[in-house]
Amino acid sequence: MSTCPFCGGAVQEYELTNMGGTIRASGCCDVSMDLIENYDVFEALPPPLQQAALEGDKAQQAAVFAKAREHAVAFQASRDRWMRTHAHLFKGEQTQWL
């Protein structure tokens, strides 16, 4: 576990892949692991390029997170449909999805 140079929080890396791309999210803030691991490179950039790097990083993550949300909503909708039409398959299920 390391400390994030951007937010000061504890980094909890996880990977997320979907049609929006692949990101290694930091779990502490909206900066990716790639940027955190290359912080020395980032720090050496002139401020306008730092800004551009941060914005590019956040835009890429936002695209992947948006796809993940889209899939979660679609999954829930198709599951609701199945529960209505094939209720017997879900009998006794206690899981809460949302």
Cα-Cα-Cα-Cα dihedral of 86, 90, 92, 96, to 10°? -130
Q: Identify which of residues 18 and 30 has a Cβ nearer to Zn ion in the complex.
A: 30
Residue among 20, 23, 25, 28 that touches Zn ion (CB under 5 A): 28
* Stretch of residues binding Zn ion (CB under 5 A), selected from 8-16, 48-56, 71-79, 88-96: 8-16
Nearest CA to 10 among 26, 30, 21? 26
**Distance (Å, whole) CA 89 – CA 86:** 6
- Check binding of 25 to Zn ion (CB under 5 A): no
Interface ranges with Zn ion (CB under 5 A): 4, 6-7, 9, 28-29
